[in-house]
Amino acid sequence: MALQKRIWRILSENKGRYIGIFILIFLGSFTLVAAKGFADNYGLLVNRFALHNLQEDLSFSVDQPLEGLAALKQETGAAIEPYRYADIPLSDKGELRLLTPQQTVNLPAVTSGSGLQQPGDILIDPFFASTHGFKIGDRIDTGHQSFRIVGTLALPHYIYPLKYINDILPPSGFGIGLVSPADMDSHPEAVTVYSVRFAARDNLGGQVIGLRAALEKQGVGLSDWTDAGNNKRIRMPWATITGAKTIAVPLPVALFLLCCLIVGIVIWRTVKADSVIIGALYAQGYRRRELTLHYLTLPLLLAAAGGLTGVLMGLPTIYPTVKYMANSYYIIPYEKLAVSAADVLAGILMPSAFLGLAAFLVIRRELRKTAGELMKGDRGKTKINFLERGLRLERFSFGTKFRLREQLRSIPRLLFLLFGVTAASVMMMFGFTINHSMNVVFQSGVDGTYDYAWEYSFKETRQGQVPNGATPFNALRCYPESKENAEFYLTGIASNADGIFLRDAGGNLLPKNQVNITYLLADRLKLREGQRIAFVSKLDGRSYELVVDGIVQTYSGQFIYMPLEDFNKLTGQPAGSYTGVFSMGKLPYEDWELAGVKDLQNLNNTMEDLAAPMTLMVIFMALIAALMGAIIIYLVTSLMIEESRATISLLKVFGYRGKEVRSLILNGSAWVVLLGFMLSIPLMLASASALYGYLGEMINMVLPIMLNPAYVILSFALIVTVYQATKGLSGRKLIKIPMSEALKAGSE
């Protein structure tokens, strides 16, 4: 159809506008394909790894070596197999956790090189290998042992290689290595852990209860019990996968809906402007279908181009992202990835469906008119919407009235700008806020509440004196009644513990001779001072009840603190019992005595390790958000200029100076931008809290979302800068509008 030749002319006349719409569609399709492709593939790999390599359902430790393992396995129908681990500090090269291989649970996957052949061989995790520059064939010297690296591996129970399961990040320089049992024999300090995987894959909860009962029947004293559901080493990848899945569809849909609004406006304007021509074409025998197709060409072309480019650019990112994650963050074996045809089709067709439908509805409404009606044109028919009609603006200055009316004259355009700025601001502040919240949580763990340098945990409960400068504590892993996934530590601390400062929301020190609960746990369980909490010991299933006296304003974990003497009394332990000590200085404990040591200096290093990629991610998110904001503001501004050409021209005729015209036309959006930004603050807080609350439930960790005024100001400054820059760009368009347009105008 000869009419189609116009499409290229229309596109080239408003290049900026259509490039902007193209980029928004591109971003939508790109996110859809890349985020969903990553989440699906990574999820599949994690699932496959867990299934094929027989990931444990739980693990436990016991006070004494477990007798009658074969009978226990028989009774419970579970694979129960011990492994040993020992932490080996490497001179200035971090720390390596050596583990022994298992045959029936947690089968190691060799991701490069070969398996263990002989004593002295070691398989290490690929991230540890790359950060320390180890290659296959290199040797690792631990001081009294030398290992030959034969390959890299992934372990189903160490997908996220945390040193302690309550950590958020692995310590800087920490890694895992698999060595033969013979090599482990030279580490008497090694800890034994039993991994359990039930043969029947249904009713796991019931089987767990059965196993507990069987252990109890045998009189086994448990010193640790970790369900896979509460094990961050296993669950953490799912938080990331769920996070990616959470943005994979809503973000593109939001972008496509925004595009629908703007494309709807553009097409409506084009059809309106062409109404006389359309009427003439009707009169000459053109069918409605032919004209509908003609006007649909532009949105469909944009949708197809943006969708296809987004898919083509998004697909190649899946493999490197999955590979990077599998090698450096959540260690799993990676295999050939599958590209989902449905995702590819959705990436290409979704924008076409959204934009096509929006444009079709607009076109159909206009083309319903008769040829005669259309040929009369649009003269004198500017509709006044309810907002314009309802406003009483007499008391405002003319400039304010004019600017308000300019904004309100097109509600879809107003909504596009409002939602667009809100979406861009939410995205920008989301990155900043998550970064700030994590910093606060880490900072809270490093200083403030926990003002000690070292934390030592013993393998066995002790009694008696502690070394000079040390403060004893005792701890029990518990969960609230009827909420087993909200694990926390009940910690008994000495009333004179000088390493812990418990402060309430007002910054006042709370007495240590009462029951104090950390803010995160209280918030999660909706507990206030004076309320009662009933909970169950994770180890022996005994129930307890306490009344909360104070809430500790800290973001570093889920704890209930109580006086050590009361703790021992409550849990039926002898007076003076303790399982660990806090200390300002390093203490000369032997490795074999310890179940764990926390070095706060290392926490600082970990934070630094995290800071760089986090900053990069935040900058990337801010840039994408700024780009989105710029496109949205530019689209609206250029549309406004387009719609106000006659008015702009008229103002020039009347003697308005360039600056005055720019101010009237371009500054009108300022309040919408401000409103959009203001709306974004509660919206961002709500969405971030909902997302992180959901993810937190998955991994038994709470990340409180905290707004940093400095970041709010920074985000606002960025949005305003984008707005001003876009205005500057649009101002040039405005200058070019000649006065002759008003002089020739034939409207109202």
Partner 1 sequence: MFLTVSNLTKSYYGGITTPVLDGINMELEQGSIGVILGPSGSGKSTLMNIIGGVDRADGGEVLVDGINVTALTDDQLTEYRRERIGFIFQFYNLIPNLTVAENIEVVSNISKAPLPVDDVLSAVGLADKKRRFPRELSGGEQQRVSIARAIVKNPALLLCDEPTGALDYVTSRDVLALLQKVNTEYGTSILMITHNSAIAGMAQAVYKLRDGKVAEAYRNSQLVPAERIEW
Instruction: Using CB under 8 A, list all residues that contact partner 1.
Output: 379-384, 388-389, 393-394, 398-399, 401-402, 405-406, 408-409, 646-647, 650-657, 660, 739-740, 742-743, 745-748
* Minimum separation from the CB atom of position 273 to partner 1 (A): 15
* Minimum separation from the CB atom of position 368 to partner 1 (A): 21
- Which residue number, 157 or 409, has a Cβ lying nearer to partner 1? 409
Which residue stretches of 368-476 are H helix? 371-375, 386-390, 398-408, 411-446
112 contacts 127 by C-beta, under 8 angstroms: no
Which residue stretches of 194-338 are H helix? 204-217, 232-248, 250-273, 275-283, 288-328
Separation of alpha carbons 672 and 1, rounded Å: 42
- Which residue number, 199 or 393, has a Cβ lying nearer to partner 1? 393
- The gap from C-alpha 713 to its chain's centroid, in whole angstroms, comes to 22
Separation of alpha carbons 34 and 318, rounded Å: 6
- Which residue number, 386 or 574, has a Cβ lying nearer to partner 1? 386
* Minimum separation from the CB atom of position 411 to partner 1 (A): 12
* Minimum separation from the CB atom of position 250 to partner 1 (A): 35
622 burial class (0-12, 13-18, 19+ CB within 10 angstroms)? buried
Side chain identity at 23, as an amino acid letter? I
- Which residue number, 104 or 747, has a Cβ lying nearer to partner 1? 747
What's the full length of the chain, in residues? 748
What is the rounded radius of gyration, in angstroms, for the C-alpha atoms of the chain? 33
Tokens of 139: 């040797």
- Which residue number, 324 or 654, has a Cβ lying nearer to partner 1? 654
- Which residue number, 50 or 661, has a Cβ lying nearer to partner 1? 661
* Minimum separation from the CB atom of position 657 to partner 1 (A): 6
* Minimum separation from the CB atom of position 747 to partner 1 (A): 6
- Which residue number, 460 or 748, has a Cβ lying nearer to partner 1? 748
* Minimum separation from the CB atom of position 390 to partner 1 (A): 12
257 burial class (0-12, 13-18, 19+ CB within 10 angstroms)? middle
Which residue stretches of 329-410 are H helix? 341-367, 371-375, 386-390, 398-408
135 contacts 156 by C-beta, under 8 angstroms: no
User: Cα-Cα-Cα-Cα dihedral of 730, 732, 734, 738, to 10°?
Assistant: -160
- Which residue number, 41 or 649, has a Cβ lying nearer to partner 1? 649
Which residue stretches of 447-585 are H helix? 519-525, 564-570
| DSSP letter, residue 508 | P
- Which residue number, 283 or 743, has a Cβ lying nearer to partner 1? 743
Separation of alpha carbons 3 and 214, rounded Å: 82
* Minimum separation from the CB atom of position 392 to partner 1 (A): 8
- Which residue number, 90 or 739, has a Cβ lying nearer to partner 1? 739
What values do phi and psi take at 484, rounded to 5? -70, -20
Separation of alpha carbons 89 and 306, rounded Å: 52
